[in-house]
A and B are shown apart, each in its own frame.
Chain A
């Protein structure tokens, strides 16, 4: 096993030999010619320094005020201060010894009287100078490991005098133009079987960039902060295990972006104040994403777009600008999220063109629509909504199945078009067993106990409310799925009642062509009265199978009710 040391401040790629006494300068030099089992040990940055006095800061604010502080002499633009333990934020400008402005608003617990630390040119940070272009490879990896059990290790935090790992290594790009966050802090192209740890990257274009089939790597980064485009980007990387502590204020794009690739396991503890906290795009599939929290991001907390089947689990998503959780063109996504809080955005959660997505949510609040589903069939579990105008919006032919969801808004649902057959099924609605509802653009159906034929239990009630729910577009629910044998007559009976003889129509229907031998619809229509009346369907399939029986009610002249109860099935 070969161990090679590098030290950006004191090393030299020309005169060094990679020993602790004569280290190389860069990771690329140190990693040249290595293989599985070898190690690159990166010199640690000095420890952060204490900040004189105490400071106060507010969630959502860029202002930091001090008491007994000496901001003017201890800090400069581009330095970082600690706002709560381990959470580092870049200083944009200093107004006085007791007042400064952060590069991005602070996200976290409002605190006063905090004894802070600072990372500056003289403490806590290893400056790599000004990158000359946005795509300069500031440091990169030159070799791969050999296998998953024999990796090339690259780790920071090494005290070269004792050859022990006693700290961390934090690299910073220092272009004098504040907006020129340039260069790739660590570039990994076509390298595999690496184990990278204890390195942080601040103020680059991309903090870390894996690309060109860099597969099967294990990497963890404590801090990826104030980079322009991405804290870290996995570009078509497979089988990678990525862990990020703080992905903060990577404001133009993403804290973590996963573009394509499969079987990656990605965890980010805090993804705040980026463009997007976690962003999976371009066919990423078979991945597991875990986000501790994603707050105050400029557009989305967590986004999966144009992906395959992935699993994403996230903690709270707080005050993201556009969507808390956005799943677009990513069928089969499994997502779970903690509480999602918005401040007047259109949607807290939007699932679009992502058939068979399943989403489990906590409390969702503060958006015009707590949940939007567009053009796909989606299952949603456990959500509770409040604030804004609507609980669930369903449009573009979408269908939603809610389980154990509580809708706090008076307007529970919204459909974009009244004439469509979009549906929102809600089982255990508002958290109450048997309180089952189906919402249609032009009507409702619900299970109720006030009106029953049997005098006990529950009966379904259908309520077409407008003329859009006419005979060709009735309010309709499935009331039975019947297993049938071949060549034996099936009889389905059900009691149906209308609350007005002629304002509403009601029928039970077996749709034709569900099974051989039943080519046309079989229909039994309720007569024009308000009595409980038994309707009968009879049919003889010529093959064994399962058929569906529907109960339909349609608008004739007014919003009225139709009930169904006591359905029975027999076969000769």
Chain B
């Protein structure tokens, strides 16, 4: 569940939403006013990617 803390339209006409899940707050940008589902999906997509596994020559995950 994410919360839209604030929203505005910037000078380029882009919709900017300040979105938080309580732990992380990010600003997301949309070309038009997005439905909640789109905001939530964009928030999830903005999560930092998992770091790649580093595997030793013997196959051990370091």
Contacts and interface: CB of A to CB of B under 8 A. Distances in A.
Interface string B6-17: 101011111000
Interface in A385-431: 389-390, 407, 409-412, 414, 429-431
A368 interface: yes
Nearest to B47: A389
B10 A407 contact: no
A414 B48 contact: yes
A411 B46 contact: yes
B18 A410 contact: no
B45 A450 contact: no
Contacts of A446: 10
Interface in B9-32: 10-14, 18, 20, 24-30
Interface residues of B, number: 22
A329 to B, nearest CB: 22
A133 to B, nearest CB: 29
Contacts of B46: 389-390, 410-411, 414
Nearest to A429: B12
Contact of A411 (B11, B20, B25, B26): B26
A431 B25 CA distance: 26
B12 A559 contact: no
B12 A431 contact: yes
A432 B45 contact: no
Contact of B29 (A389, A412, A431, A465): A412
Contacts, number: 54
Q: Which of B6, B11, B46 has the most CB of A within 10 A?
A: B11
B28 A411 contact: yes
Given A368-B49, A450-B8, A430 B25 contact: no
Nearest to B10: A435
Nearest to A409: B29
A538 interface: no
A435 B29 contact: no
A559 B14 contact: no
Given A434-B11, A447-B11, A559 B29 contact: no
B10 A448 contact: yes
B11 A444 contact: no
A368 B50 CA distance: 12
A448 B6 CA distance: 15
B12 A432 contact: yes
Interface in A246-265: none
B42 A410 contact: yes
Contacts of A410: 28-30, 42, 45-46
Contacts of A559: 5-6, 18, 20, 25
A563 to B, nearest CB: 13
A449 interface: yes
A93 interface: no
A465 B28 contact: no
B27 A430 contact: no
A431 B13 CA distance: 11
A211 interface: no
B14 A430 contact: yes
A466 interface: yes
A448 B18 contact: no
Nearest to A414: B48
A465 B12 contact: no
A562 B28 CA distance: 20
A465 B8 CA distance: 15
Interface of A: 368, 389-390, 407, 409-412, 414, 429-432, 434-435, 444, 446-450, 463, 465-466, 559
Interface of B: 5-6, 8, 10-14, 18, 20, 24-30, 42, 45-46, 48-49
Q: Which 6 A-B pairs have the closest CB atoms?
A: A411-B46, A435-B11, A432-B12, A410-B42, A430-B12, A465-B25
Given A409-B29, A435-B11, A559-B5, 8 more contacts: A389-B45, A389-B49, A410-B29, A411-B26, A411-B42, A414-B48, A429-B12, A466-B24
